[in-house]
Amino acid sequence: MRIVMVGGGVIALLSAVECVAAGHEVTVVDHGDIPHPAAASYDRQRVVRALHLDDPAATAAGARAVGLWAGLQGRLGAAFLERTGALTVLPDADLLRAQATLAGAGAPSRVLGPRALAEGFPHLRFPDGASAVVEPGAAIVLADRALHACADWLRAHPLAELLPRRRVVAVRGTAVHLADNTRLHGDAVLVAAGAWSRPLLPPALAAELVLHRQSQLHCRVPDADAAAWSAMPTVPSLGIGGGAWLVVPVAGTPLKLSASSAGRVVSTMDGQETSPRWRRRLLDLHAPAIAGLSEDWVLEARDSYYLTHAPTGGPLTVAIGERVLAHAACGGSSFKFAPLIAQSLAARLTGAARPTTLRGVS
Ligand SMILES: Cc1cc2nc3c(=O)[nH]c(=O)nc-3n(C[C@H](O)[C@H](O)[C@H](O)COP(=O)(O)OP(=O)(O)OC[C@H]3O[C@@H](n4cnc5c(N)ncnc54)[C@H](O)[C@@H]3O)c2cc1C
């Protein structure tokens, strides 16, 4: 089959790898470079951990995703996975349930009490009396390196063609219309255009997608604490206000700070600059947890966009024609689950006999 992928983010690139590996011809078209630095997928780090409290299916999918990312390194011949583990501060009432959910997914875990947190990570201040669940199997994907590895692998493959800097203006059946008045024809088409998806979808579906903007700070840690930072698990929840989280600096990446409360609904995509107000807000939010944190630490601040499907709050996968699929990824977990999503999309696009289910992923 000949398959056209609209978009060069993690969803389209991993789907392209799946389809090419199964012997199909694939064209990936993006309005920017491939990968495109403005894509949601293009970041220094993304966390892959299993725990979804009270959601055994998503936890099992998360545990599987780590193994799939590890397998991709071998397939693409590149290194982009750092096995840091993940440390999640939880209320005491949730600790046993979290461990049971992880155990049910075959993911090992241990609990660290207040004393172990204080002694193990003196450069951080956890809330008084707080405990945390540690998932030793969790990892950080060095996202930009993973995307470049996919693009390089595809570029070198005789069945793949990459078309950067070509904007898609419409998808009609399996014909993909470009802004330069040319058309690409496929036997199947995937629209995975991230936050830009809405103009390419039927209006009724587009109206169900909500645009979000999220701010992140990339920081330099003080030299005196650099070794401690890079030896610790990444922290998806610090247990402080605003849903603050951080990604630890590994393999030359900066410390990343953000929070669930740093994502907000917006009406349009309006650049990637982080306003001084959001920079300040993120610093204030993290200050109680990070000793000495100040504006001087900030190397870069950046806003990115994602969509959510209003009825579910998650991603949207939908057939918009015969062998034409659209996947609008969401924030929070679509990067982590991308290898599972790509397997499922590739099976549906190619009509493979045993499509992978997306149970727990969407
Ligand atoms: C701040 C932030 C933090 C996040 N944290 C996490 C996390 O910790 N864990 C996690 O799992 N997920 C996380 N996510 C979500 C995840 O990163 C995204 O859901 C995922 O990367 C989206 O991938 P995608 O390929 O669908 O879209 P994108 O990566 O946005 O790619 C879409 C591509 O389509 C191209 N395109 C768009 N329109 C057109 C067009 N008309 N013609 C041609 N090309 C077009 C764009 O140039 C782009 O390259 C986060 C997202 C954000 C914004």
126-155 pLDDT, tens digit per residue, is 999 999 999 999 999 999 999 999 999 999
72-125 tens-digit pLDDT:
999 999 999 999 999 999 999 999 999 999 999 999 999 999 999 999 999 999
Q: Give the number of the atom of ligand 1 that is nearest the alpha carbon of residue 336.
A: 11
Given this model, what pLDDT does residue 332 score? Answer: 81
pLDDT of residue 358: 56
Residues written for the chain: 362
User: What is the pLDDT, as a whole number, of residue 144?
Assistant: 98
Ligand 1: which atom is nearest the Cα of residue 331?
15
pLDDT of residue 354: 52
Q: What is the CATH number of domain 1-44+142-208+312-362?
A: 3.50.50.60
Is 40 near ligand 1, meaning CB less than 6 Å away?
A: yes
Q: CA 356, CA 125: separation in Å to the nearest integer?
A: 43
Q: What confidence score (pLDDT) does residue 308 get?
A: 96
Burial class (CB in 10 A: 0-12, 13-18, 19+), 340: buried
**Residue 247 beta carbon below 6 angstroms from any ligand 1 atom:** no
Q: How far apart are CA 14 and CA 140, in angstroms?
A: 17
**How many other C-beta atoms can be found within 10 angstroms of the C-beta atom of residue 119?**
9
Ligand 1 pocket member 331 (CB < 6 A): yes
Q: Is the pLDDT of residue 199 over 90?
A: yes
**Percentage with pLDDT > 70 across the chain:** 97
Question: DSSP assignment of 53-109, as one string?
Answer: TT-HHHHHHHHHHHHHHHHHHHHHT---EE---EEEEE-HHHHHHHHHHHHHTT---
Mapped onto helix, strand or coil, the DSSP state of residue 163 is strand
281-314 pLDDT tens trace? 999 999 999 989 999 999 999 999 999 999 999 9
* Residue owning the nearest CA to atom 21 of ligand 1: 41
Domain ranges of the chain: 1-44+142-208+312-362, 85-138+209-309
Q: Which of 41, 52, 154, 167 to mutate to test the pocket of ligand 1 (most atoms within 8 A of CB)?
A: 41
Write down the pLDDT at residue 291.
87
Contact 362 CB / ligand 1 (< 6 Å): no
Give the pLDDT confidence of 167-180 residue by residue, as tens digits.
Answer: 999 999 999 999 99
Ligand 1 binding pocket includes 332 (Cβ within 6 Å): yes
Atom of ligand 1 at shortest range from CA of 199: 41
49 lines ligand 1 (CB under 6 A): no
Q: What is the pLDDT of residues 348-362, one digit of tens each?
A: 999 985 545 555 565
Among residues 277, 8, 343, 5, the alpha carbon closest in space to that of 165 is found at 8
CATH architecture of the domain 85-138+209-309 equals 2-Layer Sandwich (3.30)
